[in-house]
């Protein structure tokens, strides 16, 4: 089931924050250039922590040659994406 599908155009700072619904377990990103760092908060008042294994230069990745990656967000309250590329990012939360 797709909970949220949003085409994201990042701001000049290159950051975007998303609340994670209780029934969401995965976010899939499609990135055409640059790299993305994903951090998560476990509660509203906690600090962001890096979510392991999701910082990658997707233009050179052999694992995701078309710039698609996914990561587990079950149990997180909120996630923050920091992006260094110039193209639009498409994210799907499932």
- Give the span between the Cα atoms of 34 and 43, in whole angstroms: 29
**Predicted local confidence at residue 3, as pLDDT:** 55
Return the residue matching tokens 């976010």.
27
- Give the span between the Cα atoms of 38 and 55, in whole angstroms: 7
Instruction: Print pLDDT tens along the chain (94 aa).
Output: 555 555 555 554 578 888 888 888 888 877 777 777 889 999 999 999 988 655 445 555 555 555 677 888 899 999 988 877 777 776 777 8
- Give the span between the Cα atoms of 49 and 54, in whole angstroms: 12
For 7, phi then psi, to 5°, come to -85, 120
CB-CB contact of 58 with 69 (8 Å):
yes
**Tokens linked to 31:** 């990135």
What is the value of pTM for the model shown? 0.71
Second CATH level (architecture) for the domain 4-93 = Sandwich (2.60)
DSSP state of 66: T
DSSP state of 88: -
């Amino acid at each position: 089931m797709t909970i949220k599908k949003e085409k994201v155009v990042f701001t000049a700072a290159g950051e975007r924050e998303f609340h994670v619904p209780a029934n969401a377990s995965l976010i899939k990103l499609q990135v055409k250039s640059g790299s993305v760092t994903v951090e998560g908060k476990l509660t509203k008042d906690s600090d962001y922590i890096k979510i392991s294994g999701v910082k990658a230069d997707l233009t050179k990745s052999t694992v995701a040659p078309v710039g698609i990656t996914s990561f587990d967000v079950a149990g997180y309250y909120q996630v923050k994406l920091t992006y260094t590329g110039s193209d639009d990012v498409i994210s799907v939360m499932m």
